[in-house]
Structure 1
Amino acid sequence: MKKIIILLTFFVFFFNGWILAQQRNVVGRDIGELKNLKIGGRLTDQITGEALVGATVTVKEIDKTEITNSNGMFNLVLDRAEYTLEFRYVGYETIIYPIVAVGEGRINLTMIQEDFTLDDVVIFGRDPEQNIRSTDMGAISISMNTLKELPPFLGEVDIIRSVATLPGVSQVGEASSGLNVRGGGADQNLIMFAGAPVYNPSHLFGLFTAFNPDVVNDFTLYKAIIPTRYGGRGSSILDIGPKSGSLTRWGGDFMVGTVSGKASVNGPIVKDVLSAQVSFRGSYINWLLNSLKNPDLRTSQANFNDINAILYGEINENHNLTYSFYRSYDDFALASDTTISWTNQSQSIRYSGRFGEKANLDVIGFQTLYDFTIFNQSGINNFDLKSGITDTGLRVNFTYNLGANNRISVGGDTKQLTIQPGELIPDGNSESGVLPQKVQNEYGRESGVYLQHEFELGEKFGFSYGARYDFYQYLGPRTVKEYAENLPINSGNVIGERTYEDGEVIQTYDGFGPRVSVRYSLDSRTSIKAGYNKMYQFIHLISNTATIAPTDVWKLSDQFLKPQIVDQYSLGIYKNFKGNIFETSVEVYYKDIQNVVEYKDGARLLLQNDLETEIIPGQGQAYGIELYAKKNLGRITGWASYTYSRALRRVITPFEEEIINDGDWFPANFDKPHDLTLIGNYKISTLTSFSATFSYSTGRPVTFPEAKFDFAGNSLAYFRNRNLQRIPDYHRLDVSLNFKFQGKGKFFEGDWTFAIMNVYGRKNPFSIFFADQAGSPPQAYRLAILGVPLPTLSYSLKF
């Protein structure tokens, strides 16, 4: 009997093995090669045909993981054998794909979205151990599928606000469009969409992000050790990657919400060769403004829209081209007599090529236009005030793989900048008393070359080192004032002027920026990383507010204003728990900032032809500790981030009248020592989920008047020290409920999202203003943008 059982058991195992072998997919044509078989492929969405960017392809037998590129493609080099491939992408069902590699070949697979599966299965949109094994510090990549689980703001996912939930990143408050990263100003962040810079990433003064989430595939924030291929900013790089349309079938998205709506369509123009995607978004927010308590906002009008068009073409499986066009428009009429409008427009074309198994080439050409206009139509002294910036450039990056964990990147970039700081144009159809005025245009050229080498020594050590050389020229035509030596730079000390011709070099700056990071793995789930980063920034935002506003002016470095130089030191420990279900990290950093822009007391910045008389170079320092914990598995997922940080400034000059706060360190406008964010998502069922976001931060600094005095019949406020008081602390809770409605017919099977912003009606101050009171110093009052609970409802459909 025992012999029969043993024989049957052997037969069962043999039969199962034979069945499994028959189910394995043979890849390639047998040409007799045994090693270094080149196997490529592409992952797409089964419904829409869109490329899945950042998906992981794991070869289980050799513990090797590859990540799909911006076109959903991957490449493997394998020996002749049997393998089991595992394909993962956040929000999609995992695919287990057995293969028999016998020669070079391709694997093209489609993946289907997973509807809130409740089983204990981790769905990763990247290598789950990437945070442990890589040498990257402060680099966080997030897919749009992950963001969809966050509470939407006014009906849709907001990219900039989502970035602000990460450790070390903050905003100064509601309706603020800029980001403050590790103690840096809003101008120290380079935000790129499809490789082109965007100078004002907001709609409606920051209530909406200027990027339509339907055309965004993913984004990566670099805030510590920034790769050498990026330059020109001191604090961070936010690189936003666009979606490409399907090469196989037509489809699209549609959403209608409480204050805005959007629609997009994509599909093949030439099947398997050329695809297109077009998206439009617009607002109907005026009903919301009319419901606000503030009388100025209640009588105001607002509109915004944006459009994206993306063409993607495959020359062959190794070479492709992508063209991206983006335009956004805003106008806001304050109390019906002054209209502020601004426009972002960018276009880029990108070539990506793969040469063999080791070499990759990326070339991006881009042009960005940004302008704003203030129309005063009060009936008296009507005028238009215009300003803008043009940024045109080219970037080239070449990567060569020296081995499995050894690669080198070299490249360069150059761009031409033109800034129109301001032009005042009186209304020719009215008897305006306003005189025309134009500030001189500024011209600059910024270039850089770089090298970066990443490699591993065994399983314990990983290294990334490199350097970037930046070269900058401030160009004519321009007439420049000359000032007396050893005296303050002001209008009273002008001794002459000099005129430069078109294209003539006025001032040159250059700098060598090393960047290095080291990783030491304590074990497979724990690593320690340390790094140093040096950045140069040749453009500055001239603004006396704490956030980006459309009336701010960009200024190039010249012979009076030197480039900002930022040295950053970082140290962190990273640990995953329970099979990468939990990710945790602790990072500390210190920054030294040279030539940060500060302003003289009473500085006049608008329509100022000689800004050097109103600004002062200062020193900056920032330091902090960031705690981050994320849960990827189960019915409850989410993350928590806490940051303790300080951002300080100091101004010391040889001239006593220019020294600020007696030469002591004082908080920057956006200094907020404590910043806490809690995010949770609860999967109620396969069709329903609930999410919540709570945020808290210290109130930002503000300068209160200490007294008042009368001068020439006017009451004037007296300010002594800068930024030594604070507005009240900020905190807010947002919740949302997302559910699918299963009806008859496809157009009744969309996603419904009900959200409540500011659940308990916190009146967080956006700004502080002062009003004169008889017999006492000016009294402070707060302006709250969102002071009541705000419910929103949206419906979205993918077809």
Structure 2
Amino acid sequence: MAFRATSYLVFVLLSLGSYVFAQNSNVLGARYIVTGRVLHYPEKTPFAGVTIVARGPERLVTTSKADGTFRFELLRGKYTMVARMLGYFTEETPIIVPEDNELEFLLRENALLLEEVQVSETKAEQNVSKVEIGVAKLTIKSIKKIPAVLGEVDVMRSLQLLPGVSSVGEGATGINVRGGSIDQNLILIDDAPVYNSSHLMGLFSVFNPDALKDVTFYRGGIPAQYGGRTSSVIEVKVKEPDAEKWKVQGGVGLVASRLMVDGPLVKNKMALLVATRASFSDYLFRFAKTASLKGTKANFYDITSKLAIKSSTKNQVYITFYQGKDVFKIAGDSLARTEVNATSSVFDWQTRNLTARWNHAFSEKLFANLTTVYSRYAPTITNPDSANAFELKSGVTYKNLKLDVGYVAGKHKIDVGLSGIRYDIQPGDLQPTLASSNINPLTLQKEQGLEAAAYWNHEIEVSKQLSVMYGLRYSWFAALGPYRVNAYELNVPRDPTTTTGGVDYASGKVIKTYGGLEPRLVARLNLSPTTSLKFSFNRMYQYLQLISNTTAALPTDRWKLSDAFLKPQIGDQLSLGIFKNWQKDTYETSLELYYKRLTNVADYRNGTNLTLLEAPETAILQGTGRSYGAEVLVRKNTGFLTGWVSYTFAQTEYLINSPYAEDKYRNGVYYPANFNKPHTVNVVLNYRISRRTSWSFNWVYSTGRPITYPIDKYFVDNVYVPNYTLRNQAKIPDYHRLDIGFNVDALPTTKRKWQSGWAFSVYNLYARQNAYSIFFRTKNDNVLQFYNKVNAYKLSIFGTLIPSITYNFTY
């Protein structure tokens, strides 16, 4: 009994001693969390890879993450916090722990004439170490170093200088990525989709560069949180407004001018950014030598705004609004594609997006985002002619509600989420606008659909050599009524003359459903500290398609949902790449190979007009496609001269294997897609010659795209009718172009409130008349019609050099 009592007493004393020791230890050796963020000056965008040093009672070192944040656990006392990065001025600030626990560093570029000045925006070795393949991230700072067309730096044109990206030509909207059509790219601005990414028929993009933070471009290894398109994802982020002081930024150019204002509504709690851009270039056409061009109009405007509300460190609310509008008037034209003849047509298209996002941090490891999105794209064509006055409207409305949850712990990063999308599409509504008009009204059936998805994505560092990102997405789509589904005769091609009736579906009634699993996998194996091997596979479903049988999309082209006849496109892509850095990451090199198979790819019957077609299933043909290629990139990151050289080999082919001979092109053999360009070379260079001045150059080359030439002609009722049979078996001449730019920036060391600079550029320096298309005309100079020759003509969009100058300022 005494032994038990003694043991109990010893236990109590030991426990009490441990408790007292622990308490004293907590007082004397307690650690406190200090967090902070590093930003670029003056953009105030997150700065990754910056070395942060804490000097005081102890010395600790860390680096800033991708979002610019860093974290320390420090003992009580006085510290000097130091942020340093090669090529930037070192920043220091004293703090007292635990009173000061939140920091912010603004790093200003030190553009001295030093050979080792760092120009790259992220840590150079990330191309080797990160679990990514086919991914590029561009900051606005790097985009502004590329020569501009008409004085305006441009996101979409910058992407065209990357390997695996092309376009059908100058003045064309959209881009083609690894053998995909332009509608196979999911373009997002703060989670809101963009259906037409161009201003002025492709001369500018809809994104105001002053308002943007960065652009992430996925053309392979796409994470499971993205879906709905089969080729690529372009994620454009609007930067956060300054929560401490007001700032004015803008530029004045010959064609377009910009202005942005951002600052705090409530300091450090609520901030607002508003950026606007406008072009009123109609006056330029007045100097045209051709009389028919003097009445042409081409102008646009866009507004980008973002409201940031930070109620606490755990809760933030962001509201982003975008609106853009284009007006393009052709002085004299024939809208044969709409079966309407007119002498003066006005193309008007506008986009309106609204995104609201709530970010909540449950802890340092667990966080969630709740996002709601509204998007409306509405093109219109009008004509005031008394004989043929009309208005043709169409549009796409998109509503989305999604929840994303992220968890980060050690070597694991897990993302899960749900989303629901509602589509409402007006394919076309043609109405006469004058009583004297000969136009008959026509309203196509509206389309409705629901798309739902759930995903799970997991990134894990298995070992120092191996990292894996894998995930799974399930998507489901339902086409909804009200809608009339036509019925057709069996064993014959669908045609308006073979209709046998139809079924009417009531509002909300499900017409047809589709869905499936979309697996994703990316793996990175480090062969050495400077070399890695990467592999990826992804499958993606696409339920919304742009149906157009022209090479370049126009505002008149219509968007269509999958239905009882049109199946969703499915893209399966395999990628393999090797990445190697040289001379302490001064040079990056990479080789990526890919193979993509497309199921249910769409093509069209010859001579069909899709714009006001009441039964598009009679014109659309679906088959399989394949795309394969190789992409080589060599990039120099540091020194006076920086830039990259890329080469792309790519082939894209379609197979329409219809059971009916009239719908089987080339007898069931693969033929080139109309945007197929086998060889592309891009050279992008930037040479800094002083603290303020730099030259930039880019040279592009690509083989000509396929085109269909007539093999002969018929003379019927005094009209020549060309005979087109061999689809895409010829090609237009090769394309190449040289651009140069000269930039005079504000002195990096100046602390004046008003800072300004100049941007000079020349687009198409040697004035090459690159062919956009080839067309044919019969020369009627012989009484015997049989002997009249058919001549081929080349259409060039920019047939000469285009100089530009822009004055940029910041206050």
**Superposition TM-score, scaled by structure 2 size:** 0.90
* Partner deviation per Cα, 1:711-740 (whole Å, 9 max, x = no partner): 333211100110111111111111011114
- Change over 3 Å in CA distance of 1:369–1:533 after alignment to 2: same
C-alpha deviation, 1:32, in angstroms = 5.0
What does 1:250-649 correspond to in 2, within 5 Å? 250-292=246-288, 296-335=292-331, 337-403=344-410, 405-428=411-434, 430-649=435-654
Alignment partner, residue 779 of structure 2: 773
C-alpha deviation, 1:93, in angstroms = 3.9
Counterpart of 2:406 in structure 1: which amino acid?
Answer: T
Distance 1:494 1:199 in 2: 33
Distance 1:745 1:395 in 2: 44
Question: 2:682, 2:699 within 8 Å by CA — same for their partners in 1?
Answer: yes
Alignment partner, residue 693 of structure 1: 698
Counterpart of 2:206 in structure 1: which amino acid?
Answer: A
Question: 1:701, 1:726 within 8 Å by CA — same for their partners in 2?
Answer: yes
C-alpha deviation, 1:101, in angstroms = 8.2
Distance 2:220 2:60 in 1: 32
Question: 2:575, 2:595 within 8 Å by CA — same for their partners in 1?
Answer: yes
Alignment partner, residue 27 of structure 1: none
- Change over 3 Å in CA distance of 1:180–1:78 after alignment to 2: farther
Question: 2:224, 2:455 within 8 Å by CA — same for their partners in 1?
Answer: yes
C-alpha deviation, 1:401, in angstroms = 1.4
Counterpart of 1:379 in structure 2: which amino acid?
Answer: S
Aligned pair partner of 1:190 in 186, 189, 193? 186
Distance 1:776 1:91 in 2: 68
Q: Considering only CA atoms, is the larger Rg found in Structure 1 or Structure 2? A: 2
Counterpart of 2:201 in structure 1: which amino acid?
Answer: F
Alignment partner, residue 755 of structure 1: 761
Alignment partner, residue 25 of structure 1: none
- Change over 3 Å in CA distance of 1:525–1:333 after alignment to 2: same
Question: 1:65, 1:127 within 8 Å by CA — same for their partners in 2?
Answer: no
Aligned pair partner of 1:784 in 785, 791, 796? 796
Query: Which segment is superposed worse, 355-364 or 365-374?
Result: 355-364
Aligned pair partner of 1:55 in 48, 52, 60? 48
Alignment partner, residue 797 of structure 1: 809
Distance 1:504 1:654 in 2: 32
Aligned residue for 1:381, secondary structure, equals coil
* Partner deviation per Cα, 1:52-90 (whole Å, 9 max, x = no partner): 225334468998644243xx5x24365769999875789
- Change over 3 Å in CA distance of 1:394–1:127 after alignment to 2: farther
Aligned residue for 2:157, secondary structure, equals helix
Distance 1:108 1:476 in 2: 54
Counterpart of 2:49 in structure 1: which amino acid?
Answer: T
* Partner deviation per Cα, 1:535-557 (whole Å, 9 max, x = no partner): 10001111112233211110101
Question: 1:55, 1:89 within 8 Å by CA — same for their partners in 2?
Answer: no
Question: 2:354, 2:374 within 8 Å by CA — same for their partners in 1?
Answer: yes
C-alpha deviation, 1:380, in angstroms = 2.1
Counterpart of 1:300 in structure 2: which amino acid?
Answer: T
C-alpha deviation, 1:485, in angstroms = 2.8
| Structure 1 gaps, min length 5 | 1-29
C-alpha deviation, 1:36, in angstroms = 8.7
Q: How many residues align?
A: 763
Question: 2:210, 2:250 within 8 Å by CA — same for their partners in 1?
Answer: no
C-alpha deviation, 1:618, in angstroms = 1.7
* Partner deviation per Cα, 1:280-326 (whole Å, 9 max, x = no partner): 11113223334456664443111111111211111112321111111
Question: 1:38, 1:103 within 8 Å by CA — same for their partners in 2?
Answer: no
C-alpha deviation, 1:108, in angstroms = 2.0
**Identity rate of aligned residues, in percent?**
37
- Change over 3 Å in CA distance of 1:118–1:275 after alignment to 2: same
C-alpha deviation, 1:777, in angstroms = 6.5
Question: 2:778, 2:791 within 8 Å by CA — same for their partners in 1?
Answer: yes
Distance 1:782 1:33 in 2: 82
Alignment partner, residue 662 of structure 2: 657
C-alpha deviation, 1:576, in angstroms = 1.4
Question: 1:674, 1:698 within 8 Å by CA — same for their partners in 2?
Answer: yes
Alignment partner, residue 21 of structure 1: none
* Partner deviation per Cα, 1:12-37 (whole Å, 9 max, x = no partner): xxxxxxxxxxxxxxxxxx95597996
Alignment partner, residue 147 of structure 2: 151
Distance 1:136 1:685 in 2: 35
Distance 2:463 2:132 in 1: 18
Counterpart of 2:605 in structure 1: which amino acid?
Answer: K
C-alpha deviation, 1:532, in angstroms = 0.7
Distance 1:744 1:236 in 2: 41
Question: 1:38, 1:75 within 8 Å by CA — same for their partners in 2?
Answer: no
* Partner deviation per Cα, 1:384-403 (whole Å, 9 max, x = no partner): 11111101102221111132
Counterpart of 1:790 in structure 2: which amino acid?
Answer: I
C-alpha deviation, 1:745, in angstroms = 11
* Partner deviation per Cα, 1:239-285 (whole Å, 9 max, x = no partner): 00001211110111121111111111111000110011111111132
C-alpha deviation, 1:113, in angstroms = 3.9
Counterpart of 2:474 in structure 1: which amino acid?
Answer: Y
Alignment partner, residue 41 of structure 1: 36
Alignment partner, residue 131 of structure 2: 135
- Change over 3 Å in CA distance of 1:745–1:393 after alignment to 2: closer
- Change over 3 Å in CA distance of 1:41–1:541 after alignment to 2: same
Distance 1:513 1:34 in 2: 51
Question: 2:396, 2:424 within 8 Å by CA — same for their partners in 1?
Answer: yes
C-alpha deviation, 1:126, in angstroms = 2.4
Question: 1:707, 1:778 within 8 Å by CA — same for their partners in 2?
Answer: no
Counterpart of 2:795 in structure 1: which amino acid?
Answer: L
Counterpart of 1:301 in structure 2: which amino acid?
Answer: K
Distance 2:357 2:746 in 1: 40
Counterpart of 2:584 in structure 1: which amino acid?
Answer: G
Distance 2:169 2:607 in 1: 25
- Change over 3 Å in CA distance of 1:33–1:75 after alignment to 2: farther
Aligned residue for 1:281, secondary structure, equals strand
C-alpha deviation, 1:609, in angstroms = 1.3
**Superposition TM-score, scaled by structure 1 size:** 0.91
Q: CA RMSD in A?
A: 2.6
Distance 2:46 2:281 in 1: 34
Alignment partner, residue 122 of structure 1: 118
Distance 1:39 1:85 in 2: 11
Aligned residue for 2:141, secondary structure, equals helix
Question: 1:37, 1:103 within 8 Å by CA — same for their partners in 2?
Answer: no
Structure 1 residue 67 corresponds to structure 2 residue 65:
yes
| Structure 2 gaps, min length 5 | 1-24, 54-58, 333-343, 781-786
- Change over 3 Å in CA distance of 1:486–1:411 after alignment to 2: same
Aligned residue for 2:726, secondary structure, equals coil
- Change over 3 Å in CA distance of 1:292–1:67 after alignment to 2: farther
Distance 1:613 1:163 in 2: 36
Aligned pair partner of 2:224 in 204, 228, 231? 228
Distance 1:116 1:499 in 2: 72
Question: 2:52, 2:84 within 8 Å by CA — same for their partners in 1?
Answer: no
Question: 2:48, 2:63 within 8 Å by CA — same for their partners in 1?
Answer: no
Distance 2:183 2:449 in 1: 17
